[in-house]
Structure 1
Amino acid sequence: MATIFLLICISCLLLIATWRNMSQNGKQPPGPIALPLAGNIFQLNPKNLPESLRKLSEKYGPVFTIHLGPQKIVVLYGYDVVKEALIDQADDFSGRGSLPLLKRLLKGTGIVTSNGETWKQLRRFALTTLRDFGMGKRSIEERIQEEARFLVERIRNTHEKAFNPGRFLTHAVSNIICSIVFGDRFDYEDKKFLTLIYLLDENNEYQNAIQTQLYNFFPTLMEFLPGPHQKMLKNIDEVDKFILEMIAQHQETWDPSCPRDFIDAFLNKMDQEKENGHSVFTVESLTRSTLDLFLAGTGTTSTTLRHALLILQKYPEIQEKVQREIDRVIGRDRSPCMADRSQMPYTDAMIHEIQRFIDFLPLNVPHAVIKDTKFRNYFIPKDTMIFPLLTPVLHDSKEFPNPEKFDPGHFLNANGTFKKSDFFMPFSAGKRICAGEGLARMELFIFLTSILQNFTLKPVVDHKDIDIAPLITSAASIPRPYEVSFIPR
Structure 2
Amino acid sequence: MWIRAILVAVLVCLLILHFLKLLKTFKKYPRGPPLHIIAAKFIWAGFRVYPNLFVETAKEYGNIYTLWGVTLHIVILSGFRAVKEGLIKNSEIFSGRPVTPFYQAVAQEKGIVFSNGHTWKQQRKFGIATMRKLGMGKKGVQNQIEEEAHQLVETFAHTKGQPFDPSLPILNSVCNVICALVFGHRYSVDDEQFLKLMKAIEYSVKFGGTVFHLLYEGFPWIMKHIKWPYKKAFAAVDVVLSHASRETEAHRAQLAVHDPRDFIDYYLLQMERSKNDPTSTYDDANLFQCISDLFVAGTDTTSATLQWALLLMVTHPDIQEKVQKEIEDAFGSSQIISYQDRKKVPYTFATIHEIQRFKCILLAGNPRLTVDDVTILGAFIPKGTMVVPDVHSVVYDPKIWETPQKFNPNHFLDKDGKFVDREELLLFGAGARMCLGKEMAKMELFTFFTSLLRAFTFKLPEGVTEVNSEPVKGLTMTPHHYKLCAVPRLSDS
User: TM-score when scaled to structure 2?
Assistant: 0.88
| 2:477 alignment partner in structure 1 | 477
Q: CA deviation at 1:20?
A: 13
Q: CA deviation at 1:467?
A: 3.0
Describe the shift of the 1:375–1:466 C-alpha distance in structure 2 as closer, same or farther (beyond 3 A).
same
What is the distance in 2 between the residues matched to 1:379 and 1:340?
Answer: 46
Q: CA deviation at 1:22?
A: 7.4
**Aligned Cα root-mean-square deviation (Å):** 2.8
What is the distance in 1 between the residues matched to 2:313 and 2:326?
Answer: 15
What is the distance in 2 between the residues matched to 1:405 and 1:72?
Answer: 34
What residue identity is the alignment partner of 1:324? K
Q: Is the 8 A contact 2:314 2:458 kept in 1?
A: yes
Q: Is the 8 A contact 1:315 1:463 kept in 2?
A: no
Q: Is the 8 A contact 1:68 1:216 kept in 2?
A: no
Q: Which moved more, 1:271-280 or 1:176-185?
A: 271-280
Q: Is the 8 A contact 2:63 2:77 kept in 1?
A: yes
Q: Is the 8 A contact 1:106 1:288 kept in 2?
A: yes
What is the distance in 2 between the residues matched to 1:349 and 1:192?
Answer: 37
Q: Is the 8 A contact 1:178 1:184 kept in 2?
A: yes
| 1:170 alignment partner in structure 2 | 171
| 2:43 alignment partner in structure 1 | 45
Q: Is the 8 A contact 2:373 2:380 kept in 1?
A: yes
Q: CA deviation at 1:107?
A: 2.8
2:493 aligned with 1:486: no
Q: Which moved more, 1:373-382 or 1:187-196?
A: 373-382
The CA deviation string for residues 68-118 of structure 1, in whole angstroms up to 9 with x for no partner, is 562221111111100000111111111112333333333321111111121
Describe the shift of the 1:405–1:224 C-alpha distance in structure 2 as closer, same or farther (beyond 3 A).
farther
Q: CA deviation at 1:44?
A: 5.2
Q: Which moved more, 1:131-140 or 1:424-433?
A: 131-140
Q: CA deviation at 1:254?
A: 1.8
Q: Is the 8 A contact 1:62 1:78 kept in 2?
A: yes
Q: Is the 8 A contact 2:347 2:413 kept in 1?
A: yes
Q: CA deviation at 1:332?
A: 2.5
2:265 aligned with 1:264: yes
What is the distance in 2 between the residues matched to 1:135 and 1:324?
Answer: 31
What is the distance in 2 between the residues matched to 1:389 and 1:100?
Answer: 22
| 1:275 alignment partner in structure 2 | 276
What residue identity is the alignment partner of 1:321? K
After the TM superposition, which residues 278-427 of structure 1 pair with which residues of structure 2 at under 5 Å, given as runs?
Answer: 278-427=279-428
What residue identity is the alignment partner of 1:215? Y
Other structure's SS at 1:95 match:
coil
What is the distance in 2 between the residues matched to 1:287 and 1:104?
Answer: 15
Q: Number of residue pairs matched?
A: 472
What is the distance in 1 between the residues matched to 2:271 and 2:139?
Answer: 28
| 2:5 alignment partner in structure 1 | none
Q: CA deviation at 1:131?
A: 0.9
Other structure's SS at 1:435 match:
coil
Describe the shift of the 1:70–1:205 C-alpha distance in structure 2 as closer, same or farther (beyond 3 A).
same
Describe the shift of the 1:206–1:96 C-alpha distance in structure 2 as closer, same or farther (beyond 3 A).
closer
What residue identity is the alignment partner of 2:394? V
Describe the shift of the 1:462–1:369 C-alpha distance in structure 2 as closer, same or farther (beyond 3 A).
farther
What is the distance in 2 between the residues matched to 1:287 and 1:295?
Answer: 12
What residue identity is the alignment partner of 2:98? G
Runs of 4+ in 1 over 6 A off after TM superposition: 17-23
Q: CA deviation at 1:208?
A: 5.9
Other structure's SS at 2:218 match:
coil
After the TM superposition, which residues 444-483 of structure 1 pair with which residues of structure 2 at under 5 Å, given as runs?
Answer: 444-460=445-461, 465-473=466-474, 475-483=475-483
The CA deviation string for residues 174-218 of structure 1, in whole angstroms up to 9 with x for no partner, is 111111111111122211101111222334444463323433333
Q: CA deviation at 1:459?
A: 1.0
Describe the shift of the 1:415–1:40 C-alpha distance in structure 2 as closer, same or farther (beyond 3 A).
closer
Q: Which moved more, 1:203-212 or 1:147-156?
A: 203-212
What residue identity is the alignment partner of 1:45? I
2:182 aligned with 1:184: no
What is the distance in 2 between the residues matched to 1:207 and 1:164?
Answer: 24
Q: CA deviation at 1:33?
A: 4.1
Q: CA deviation at 1:67?
A: 4.0
Q: Is the 8 A contact 2:353 2:412 kept in 1?
A: yes
Q: CA deviation at 1:402?
A: 2.8
What is the distance in 1 between the residues matched to 2:329 and 2:214?
Answer: 47
Q: Is the 8 A contact 2:28 2:382 kept in 1?
A: no
Q: CA deviation at 1:337?
A: 1.0
Q: Is the 8 A contact 2:215 2:223 kept in 1?
A: yes
2:248 aligned with 1:247: yes
Other structure's SS at 1:243 match:
helix
What is the distance in 2 between the residues matched to 1:315 and 1:33?
Answer: 41
Q: Is the 8 A contact 2:182 2:264 kept in 1?
A: yes
Describe the shift of the 1:404–1:462 C-alpha distance in structure 2 as closer, same or farther (beyond 3 A).
farther
Q: Is the 8 A contact 1:39 1:69 kept in 2?
A: no
| 1:111 alignment partner in structure 2 | 112
What is the distance in 1 between the residues matched to 2:258 and 2:156?
Answer: 40
What residue identity is the alignment partner of 1:108? E
What is the distance in 2 between the residues matched to 1:360 and 1:82?
Answer: 18
Q: CA deviation at 1:138?
A: 7.6
Other structure's SS at 2:143 match:
helix
| 1:200 alignment partner in structure 2 | 201
The CA deviation string for residues 450-478 of structure 1, in whole angstroms up to 9 with x for no partner, is 011111112126675223233342x1111
Describe the shift of the 1:448–1:482 C-alpha distance in structure 2 as closer, same or farther (beyond 3 A).
same
Q: CA deviation at 1:417?
A: 1.9
Q: Is the 8 A contact 1:301 1:440 kept in 2?
A: yes
What residue identity is the alignment partner of 1:156? A
Q: CA deviation at 1:316?
A: 0.8
Q: CA deviation at 1:50?
A: 5.1
What is the distance in 2 between the residues matched to 1:230 and 1:410?
Answer: 45
What residue identity is the alignment partner of 1:95? G
Describe the shift of the 1:263–1:208 C-alpha distance in structure 2 as closer, same or farther (beyond 3 A).
same
What is the distance in 2 between the residues matched to 1:138 and 1:199?
Answer: 28
Describe the shift of the 1:312–1:206 C-alpha distance in structure 2 as closer, same or farther (beyond 3 A).
same
The CA deviation string for residues 290-329 of structure 1, in whole angstroms up to 9 with x for no partner, is 1111212211111110111111111111111100011111
What is the distance in 1 between the residues matched to 2:331 and 2:443?
Answer: 16
**Alignment gaps of 5+ in structure 2:** 1-9
Identity within the alignment, %: 35
What residue identity is the alignment partner of 1:373? V
Other structure's SS at 2:43 match:
coil
The CA deviation string for residues 223-276 of structure 1, in whole angstroms up to 9 with x for no partner, is 344665542222111211111111121122224333221111111111111122
The CA deviation string for residues 353-407 of structure 1, in whole angstroms up to 9 with x for no partner, is 0101111113111111111222333332212111012111111111112312111
| 1:3 alignment partner in structure 2 | none
What is the distance in 1 between the residues matched to 2:463 and 2:443?
Answer: 32
